[in-house]
Amino acid sequence: MTINIKSAEDIEAMRHACRLASEVLDYIAPHIKPGITTKEIDRLGAECMAQQGTISATVGYQPPGYPPYPASLCTSVNHVVCHGIPNDKPLKKGDIVNVDVTVITKDGWYGDNSRMYLIGECSIAAKRLSAVTFEAMWHGILQVKPGARLGDIGHAIQKFAEGHGFSVVREFCGHGIGQKFHEEPQVLHYGRPGTLEELQPGMVFTIEPMINAGKRDVKNHGNDGWTIVTKDHSLSAQWEHTVLVTPTGYEVMTLSAGSPPLPSFVTATRT
């Protein structure tokens, strides 16, 4: 396995790409309320990217065995785990939606992030799932430092999520990112401490746990080739940041003015 180590110059370019990816979510946020369709969210995302001079990494994205992805971002509502395709159905009070945005800058660098949005007043269960998933992501981030291993990240996320009675999706993981959308390593959101690849300064990857309220099993939904749902139809949540391994710890790259406040157990966005 060869994990690309970013130079100081690469890291500057990634900071820029990641800030822009985060600002797309900021741009969309005030519009996400009951009645908006996920297609309209997609249109707003595309509008923001056009203003930035970035392009969406997802439009036309086609890994082997998949049809080309048809939208500028992903919108995964309620029991949709990931890769939901924007459509004409209005969001309604009580829905939860993940919006996942990946941009490519003019100089070819990728920034990838996602957030959950609660539509109007939501059930206590839905709010708890979103909050626990956010905190699970941060428990993973807190593991990031030179000498730690990928298994430490997965374990921290799994322990926290399962400790709250939720389950961790196994089929999708975080990923290295840079001048490609998905690079090595795979960043599993479950695992054993002290296992897998050792982290080194200059590695950049995403941490993006998908956590289910019910069982961890997922399935393909219908025939669009993309949408993944929970098998038991339970709610699913996801948060995503792109993270740099620094000489002393981590730097969360996908932060902007609209990023949610840090959990109480986190003291810094970079260490």
Residues that bind ligand MF3 (CB under 6 A): 58, 61, 69, 74, 83, 100, 102, 112, 206, 208, 226, 240
Q: Determine how β-strand 55-56 pairs with β-strand 210-212.
A: unpaired
Residue 10 beta carbon to Co ion: minimum distance, rounded to whole angstroms: 18
Residue 226 interface partner, choices Co ion, ligand MF3, none, CB cut-off 5-8 Å depending on type? ligand MF3
- Measured from the Cβ of residue 270, the count of other Cβ atoms closer than 10 Å reads 13
Q: Which is nearer to ligand MF3, 19 or 127 (CB)?
A: 19
- The dihedral built from the CA positions of residue 39, 41, 46 and 50, taken in this order, carries a sign that is positive
- Measured from the Cβ of residue 7, the count of other Cβ atoms closer than 10 Å reads 9
For tokens 């997922």, the residue is 218
Q: Which stretch binds Co ion (CB under 5 A): 3-11, 111-119, 164-172, 226-234?
A: 111-119
Exactly one of 42, 112, 135, 251 binds Co ion (CB under 5 A); which one? 112
Q: Is 100 annotated to bind ligand? A: yes
Residue 112 beta carbon to ligand MF3: minimum distance, rounded to whole angstroms: 5
Residue 222 beta carbon to Co ion: minimum distance, rounded to whole angstroms: 21
> Which H/E stretch holds residue 187?
strand 183-187
Q: Which is nearer to ligand MF3, 122 or 134 (CB)?
A: 134
Residue 74 beta carbon to ligand MF3: minimum distance, rounded to whole angstroms: 5
Binding mask 192-211 for Co ion (x = CB under 5 A): --------------x-----
Residue type, 132: V
Tokens of 97: 């939606």
191: left (phi over 0), alpha (psi -120 to 50) or beta: left
CB contact at 8 A, 95 and 119: yes
CA distance 33 to 18: 25
Q: Is 112 annotated to bind ligand? A: yes
For tokens 């982290």, the residue is 199
Candidates 196, 226, 2, 218; CA nearest to 187 is: 196
Q: Is 83 annotated to bind ligand? A: yes
Q: Which is nearer to Co ion, 22 or 206 (CB)?
A: 206
CB contact at 8 A, 115 and 28: no
251 in contact with Co ion (CB under 5 A): no
Q: Which stretch binds Co ion (CB under 5 A): 49-57, 100-108, 154-162, 185-193?
A: 100-108
212 in contact with Co ion (CB under 5 A): no
Q: Is 208 annotated to bind ligand? A: yes
CB contact at 8 A, 145 and 198: no
Binding residues for a divalent metal cation: 100, 112, 175, 208, 240
Binding residues for substrate: 83, 182
By CB under 5 A, name the binding residues for Co ion.
Answer: 100, 112, 206, 240
